[in-house]
Amino acid sequence: MDFDPSAAFAPLHYRLQPYGGIAREDLRRLNDLPYTQMEFAVGRRIAPRGRQLDRIYLIISGWVGQSRYLMSGTRQIVHVLLPGDIVPANVFALRKLDHELEALTHVVIRLFDPEDFVNLLQTAPELNMALWWAAEQQYSILRESIVRLGRRSSIERVAHLFLELHRRLLIIRQAKEESFMLPMTQEAFRDVLGLSLVHMNRMLRQLEKQKLIERKDTTIQFRNRQELSRLCDFDPAHLHLNGEGAWGGGK
């Protein structure tokens, strides 16, 4: 680490690292942008569906769900945002939110003025490019979620989500090599995977019984990650872990 961002910025810093050299100065300027900071308790709604986005949300700590409620009252969590993630992923298209933002854990977020943010990007091309790549990664995760929901069995879904979250947490250094903290309830987990609570719980126990994972409190420990990956045909390619293929965009 040649740059020592404030702890608040560390996740974003790690997240953008793979996408090429971002000037220390740029990160510092991002760090120095005026902001409002807010905290939310578990389960609280951070922003409602339909809200016109007039702020850039940066997640400092905690997990945030982008979720949709159907008329029947059921919920689908479309995407789980981790520290360092930004809403909207594409800061140039400030739309109305088509989903809720909900705190899946205790959450700290920072709000920026979009104009400040975009002005900074326009004089920081590397940072700009890195954010595009981070956005692209988010969308790849959405695509992979579609595959997971459309074509994988329940046990595969559970395994696949574990492995994906683990990789994402590794990037921001909030996981160990073979374990990670899963702070959300099974209820939230269920709504990511499109399953029932009962059945998802059974699949969890089955993974334990097969000695693929271990659970202690909120910690998930992999006991045989390779076998787990094989079980659910996990391929981290969609996470674009190396920024390879980045193209300078006429800079």
Partner DNA sequence: CGTCCTATTGATGGGGTTCAAGGCGTGTGG
Partner DNA sequence: CCACACGCCTTGAACCCCATCAATAGGACG
Q: Which residues bind its own copies (CB under 8 A)?
A: 50, 52-53, 66, 68, 70-72, 74-76, 78-79, 88-90, 92-96, 98-99, 114-115, 118-119, 122, 129, 132-133, 135-136, 139-140, 142-147, 149-152, 191, 193-194, 233, 237-238, 240, 244-247, 249-250
If one asks whether residue 82 binds DNA (CB under 7 A), the answer comes out as no
CB of 85: closest distance to DNA in angstroms?
Answer: 23
Give the residue with the Cβ less far from DNA, 115 or 208: 208
Burial 9-48 (b: 16+ CB within 10 A, else e): bbbbbbbbbbbeebeeebbeebeeeebeeeebebeeebbe
Give the residue with the Cβ less far from its own copies, 13 or 238: 238
* Binding mask of the shown chain, residues 119 to 158, with x at each position contacting DNA by CB under 7 A: ----------------------------------xxx---
CB of 113: closest distance to its own copies in angstroms?
Answer: 11
Q: Is 111 helix (H, G, I), strand (E, B) or coil?
A: strand
Number of residues that bind DNA (CB under 7 A): 20
Tokens of 210: 């097969």
Helix, strand, coil percentages for the chain (3-state, nearest 5): 45, 20, 35
Q: Which of 184, 204, 202 is nearest to 192 (CA)?
A: 184
Q: Which ranges in the chain belong to alpha helices (H)?
A: 10-16, 24-32, 114-122, 125-151, 154-171, 186-193, 197-209, 225-232
Give the residues lining the site for DNA (CB under 7 A). Answer: 42-43, 153-155, 185-187, 194-202, 204-205, 215
